[in-house]
């Protein structure tokens, strides 16, 4: 079945550092890929998505590119802020599917 593997945390960075959170996936078809973010004490919210190979999703300075050849969707940000401290989840959904498969999440802490 489908699965998502993302780098284990926690990840601690200083403000303005570069962020990469790795995500790779296994799927039988051509999934849509997502990054969701969970701020402390809140539900998840969509950060960005990509629906086909070579698509780049971007939002709030975060970017991720759908790489079919490496089955990856790594999340990057050039300069993190304290307000980016959260848990980040990579997820996939096959086209037309009613199921969303999540990775285990990566906790990011940004210190001033």
Q: Which of 27, 32, 66, 108 binds another protein (CB under 8 A)?
A: 32
Stretch that binds another protein, among 19-27, 60-68, 77-85, 95-103 (CB under 8 A): 95-103
Stretch that binds another protein, among 19-27, 52-60, 75-83, 100-108 (CB under 8 A): 100-108
CA diameter of the chain = 43
Q: Which of 42, 69, 70, 112 binds another protein (CB under 8 A)?
A: 42
Q: Which is nearer to another protein, 14 or 59 (CB)?
A: 59
CA distances from residue 35 to 111, 112 in whole angstroms, order as listed: 22, 24
Tokens of 39: 């701020």
Tokens of 5: 């593997």
Between CA 70 and CA 25 the distance in angstroms is: 9
Binding-site ranges for another protein (CB under 8 A): 32, 42-46, 49, 51, 89, 93-105
């Amino acid at each position: 079945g489908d699965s998502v593997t993302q780098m284990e945390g926690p990840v601690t960075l200083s403000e303005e550092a570069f962020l990469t959170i790795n995500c790779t996936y296994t799927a039988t078809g051509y999934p849509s890929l997502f990054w969701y973010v969970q701020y402390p004490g809140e539900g998840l919210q969509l950060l960005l998505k990509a629906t086909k190979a070579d698509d780049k999703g971007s939002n709030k300075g975060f970017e991720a590119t759908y790489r079919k050849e490496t089955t990856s969707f790594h999340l990057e940000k050039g300069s993190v802020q304290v307000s980016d401290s959260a848990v980040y989840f990579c997820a996939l959904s096959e086209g037309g599917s009613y199921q969303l498969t999540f990775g285990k999440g990566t906790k990011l802490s940004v210190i001033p």
